[in-house]
């Protein structure tokens, strides 16, 4: 197939880094081709709320073309990139088309890492995509339906057991949201299921949950999780995941109908197929300017980038936003023939929520927990969401949830799993 006309700049990825880069490049008057395998930006931090019936998927997805309405220099292409030739400066789409670039920003984000543990990909749910979240929600609701008509037995208890692997923010937030579902929804919707039979186990290989926070906040989070009736297994590694649950390294078996994998991150697969140098977890190696090592004019930012001298930067939204912005500024500098500048991350703090009125936040030396941290968390996430409609929808859902204790989105809609249809980003990222 013939190569398309050469666009000057290609931005690959419509996540936090790509979105911010598009803003800067279009303001800089550049002609840009923006490519993503989906036609929307996903607000990943709220994915767990979609998975636990707190938000509808559309509330956290924002169409890329809406973002481009007032950005005439930018074109969008819906295409999954499957490879690339860094020497020829081209990308290859899943349809076999080549996209040429003079400047490239790779911002394809991360994906769940299974660390080669048997059964994880086949039997655990991960959370990297709205389809993942919807699949997990449908699965959980289906198991509750089955449990509701199954007499009390070990089989019913297994149906009602959720094992969440990974005590970072995603694991903790998912466990907390499930606990709220158990407390406020199960008694009214499933009167035949005693809520205490729904078991939530959080498995973490290290000796603390939310290990990147100050130890006082870790302890607070742990107490809050226990208050919500979540079983915490610290220092426990998963050896295998099967259709019937999880085997821990010591030999213990946790019978569970649902296993959620929130334990590791690697670069999305495409990072290793572009002909660019990669390092730890398959991430693209970039210099402090975010330019790819030995590839002038090619940049990477966000979760996919491994920055020389700053390898410990966390894979979080702020790093991606600031990195996307910086890479775009450096592309503009390169086009203007000016020297590139080094990226300096400004740490704005970190937050995690555990449940209603319970959250922790660490902003510089300020440490918050309880209701104040929770309200701060709500406000920050509302402000960060892309699109006025999405903010409004989320605000209404949260207000409804706060006042009624209800979670409104419990319809099982989506691929017919009984017919073998399924979806998971294990296969696509």
Ligand X SMILES: Cc1cc2nc3c(=O)[nH]c(=O)nc-3n(C[C@H](O)[C@H](O)[C@H](O)COP(=O)(O)OP(=O)(O)OC[C@H]3O[C@@H](n4cnc5c(N)ncnc54)[C@H](O)[C@@H]3O)c2cc1C
The residues that touch ligand X, with contacts defined as CB under 6 A, are: 13-18, 35-38, 44-45, 47-48, 80-81, 107-110, 127-128, 169-170, 268, 270, 302-304, 315-318, 320, 429
- Which of 56, 131, 173, 329 is an active site residue? 173
User: In whole angstroms, what is the distance from residue 416 CA to residue 138 CA?
Assistant: 10
- Smallest gap from Cβ 135 to ligand X, in A, equals 14
Site of tokens 């929804």: 185
Beta strand spans in 68-191 (E): 74-78, 81-85, 90-93, 98-100, 103-106, 110-112, 125-126, 161-165
User: In whole angstroms, what is the distance from residue 32 CA to residue 20 CA?
Assistant: 13
- Smallest gap from Cβ 191 to ligand X, in A, equals 32
- Smallest gap from Cβ 252 to ligand X, in A, equals 27
Indicate the residue among 99 and 117 with the shorter CB distance to ligand X: 99
- Smallest gap from Cβ 339 to ligand X, in A, equals 25
Of 91, 41, 110, 68, the residue nearest 302 (C-alpha): 110
Q: Please list, residue by residue across 396-414, b when 16 or more beta carbons sit within 10 angstroms of its beta carbon and e when fewer do.
A: ebbeebeeeebbebeeeeb
User: In whole angstroms, what is the distance from residue 210 CA to residue 214 CA?
Assistant: 9
Rounded alpha-carbon distances, angstroms, from residue 72 to 68, 275, 387 = 7, 31, 18
- Smallest gap from Cβ 12 to ligand X, in A, equals 6
- Smallest gap from Cβ 169 to ligand X, in A, equals 5
Decide if 298 contacts 86 (C-beta within 8 A). Answer: yes
Indicate the residue among 127 and 246 with the shorter CB distance to ligand X: 127
Indicate the residue among 230 and 267 with the shorter CB distance to ligand X: 267
Is 341 known to be catalytic? no
- Smallest gap from Cβ 40 to ligand X, in A, equals 8
Give the phi and the psi of residue 258 in degrees, each rounded to 5: -135, 130
Six token digits for residue 111: 């994906």
- Considering only the C-alpha atoms of the chain, give the largest distance between any 2 of them, rounded to a whole number of Å: 73
- Give the angle subtended at the CA of 124 by the CAs of 181 and 423, to the nearest 5°: 90
Indicate the residue among 126 and 190 with the shorter CB distance to ligand X: 126
Which spans in 168-316 are helix H?
Answer: 169-184, 186-189, 215-227
Indicate the residue among 383 and 418 with the shorter CB distance to ligand X: 383
User: What three-state secondary structure class fits 308?
Assistant: coil
Six token digits for residue 422: 């399924």
Of 13, 84, 82, the residue nearest 275 (C-alpha): 84
Of 296, 315, 302, the residue nearest 343 (C-alpha): 302
Indicate the residue among 291 and 303 with the shorter CB distance to ligand X: 303
- Smallest gap from Cβ 112 to ligand X, in A, equals 8
Indicate the residue among 132 and 180 with the shorter CB distance to ligand X: 132
- Smallest gap from Cβ 347 to ligand X, in A, equals 11
Residues 6+ apart with CB under 8 A from 320: 15, 16, 17, 20, 107, 109, 301, 302, 303
Let me know how many helices (H) and strands (E) the chain has, helices first. 12, 25
Instruction: Tell me which residue has its CB nearest to ligand X.
Output: 15
Indicate the residue among 202 and 316 with the shorter CB distance to ligand X: 316
Indicate the residue among 136 and 158 with the shorter CB distance to ligand X: 136
Rounded alpha-carbon distances, angstroms, from residue 155 to 139, 143, 146 = 16, 11, 11
Residues recognised as catalytic: 173
């Amino acid at each position: 197939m013939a190569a398309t006309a050469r666009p000057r700049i290609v931005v690959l990825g419509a996540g936090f880094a790509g979105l911010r880069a598009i803003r800067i490049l279009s303001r800089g008057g550049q002609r840009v081709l923006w490519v993503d395998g989906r036609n929307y930006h996903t607000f990943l931090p709220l994915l767990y709320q979609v998975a636990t019936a707190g938000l509808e998927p559309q509330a956290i997805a924002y169409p890329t073309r809406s973002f481009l309405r007032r950005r005439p220099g930018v074109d969008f292409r819906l295409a999954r990139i499957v490879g690339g030739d860094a020497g020829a400066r081209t990308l290859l789409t899943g349809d076999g088309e080549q996209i040429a670039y003079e400047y490239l920003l790779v911002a394809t984000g991360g994906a769940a890492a299974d660390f080669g543990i048997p059964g994880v990909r086949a039997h655990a749910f991960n959370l990297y995509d709205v389809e993942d979240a919807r699949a997990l929600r449908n699965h959980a609701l289906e198991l509750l339906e089955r449990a509701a008509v199954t007499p009390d037995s070990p089989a019913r208890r297994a149906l009602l057991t959720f094992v969440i692997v990974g005590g970072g923010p995603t694991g903790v937030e998912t466990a907390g949201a499930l606990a709220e579902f158990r407390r406020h929804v199960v008694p009214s919707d499933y009167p035949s299921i005693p809520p205490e039979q729904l078991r939530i186990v959080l498995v973490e290989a290290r000796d603390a949950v939310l290990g990147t926070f100050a130890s006082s906040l870790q302890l607070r989070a742990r107490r809050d999780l226990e208050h919500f009736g979540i079983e915490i297994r610290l220092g426990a590694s998963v050896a295998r995941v099967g259709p019937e649950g999880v085997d821990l390294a010591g030999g213990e078996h946790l019978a569970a109908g649902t296993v959620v994998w929130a334990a590791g991150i690697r670069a999305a697969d495409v990072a290793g197929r572009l002909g660019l140098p990669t390092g730890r977890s398959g991430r693209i190696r970039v210099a402090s300017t975010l330019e790819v090592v030995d590839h002038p004019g090619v940049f990477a930012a966000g979760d996919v980038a491994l920055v020389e001298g700053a390898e410990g930067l966390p894979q979080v939204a702020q790093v991606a936003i600031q990195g996307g912005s910086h890479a775009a500024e450096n592309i503009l500098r390169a086009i203007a023939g000016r020297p590139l500048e080094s990226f300096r991350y400004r740490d704005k703090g970190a937050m995690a929520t555990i449940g209603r009125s319970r959250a922790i936040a660490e902003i510089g030396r300020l440490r918050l927990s309880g209701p104040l941290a929770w309200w701060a968390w709500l406000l920050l996430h509302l402000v960060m969401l892309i699109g006025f409609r999405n903010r409004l929808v989320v605000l209404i859902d949260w207000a409804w949830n706060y006042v009624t204790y209800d979670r409104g989105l419990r319809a099982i809609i989506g691929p017919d799993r009984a017919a073998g249809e399924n979806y998971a980003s294990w296969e696509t990222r």
